[in-house]
Amino acid sequence: MSAAREPEYRDGHGFIVEVIRTRRRKSADIRVEEGAVSVVVPLDTPVEKIDQLLASKRSWVREKIALHQEAVPVRAKRYVSGEAFSYLGRNYRLKVETGNFAPVKLTNGRLLVTVPAGAEQPHIVRNALVRWYKRQAEQKLQEKVTRYAPMVGAHPAGVSVRSFKSRWGSCTAKGAVEFNWQIMMAPTRMIDYVVVHELCHLIRHDHSQAFWREVERVMPDYQQCRDWLRANAAKLVFDAP
């Protein structure tokens, strides 16, 4: 298995673009998802060509970002130094520095992000944080699925991270499991429960007594986890007022 590539970013002048290089594409594709911008390009695409593409699509990207900002509710967060963000059940203070954009780092008990100075700074900070949470989710949820799948007796076809409005996970018709990246704000044991819950759905596709017996067999304390998530769900929304 090859080592994961370091994240690559370009300054789009008003927004930050994540560059995703892949052998599976022969042409470039710009995406704006949840206000975060990414460009998927063939593996050997030079940065000059990427910058040219971004310059030609800058108005379109800004329009998409503006539409996203209008669609989301008014946020309680301002994405400034000192604000607290939960990760694995513990609060960490945000520290924003000005300079060349750098991905979020969890260091010395703080979430550190370096962004260019400018009017769009809060927007860039938010997207940097969302990207960081998603990256952590991709890694840790894959590890947990690998750990729990043999205990459950399930064989998931894949693991992916998504944005869900009102649920923590889901199973696809093809037998893959999907998880809401915002579960990374919950304590580790709650994440374990969500993973076991979805893996058990690969065996039992309902919420029958037989399903809950499967969950209990792997997690005898599942009911406490289930109750905790119900009681705290509103706190685990990234932009909660």
- What mean pLDDT value characterizes the chain? 89
Say which range, 43-52, 118-127, 172-181, 210-219, has the weakest mean pLDDT: 118-127
Answer yes or no: is pLDDT of 71 > 70. Answer: no
Higher pLDDT, 73 or 128: 128
- CATH superfamily entry for domain 136-236: Metalloproteases ("zincins"), catalytic domain (3.30.2010.10)
The closest of 117, 126, 77 to 97, measured between CA atoms, is 117
C-alpha dihedral over 174, 180, 181, 182, to 10 degrees?
-170
pLDDT of amino acid 234:
86
Higher pLDDT, 178 or 13: 178
pLDDT of amino acid 174:
93
- Can you tell me the mean pLDDT for 36-46? 91
A 10 A CB-CB count for 69 gives 13
Answer yes or no: is pLDDT of 90 > 80. Answer: yes
- Can you tell me the mean pLDDT for 51-80? 82
| Angstrom distance (rounded) from CA 172 to CA 174 | 5
Where do the structural domains in the chain lie, given as residue ranges? 8-71, 84-132, 136-236
| Angstrom distance (rounded) from CA 75 to CA 225 | 28
Q: What band does 75 get if pLDDT is binned at 50, 70 and 90?
A: low
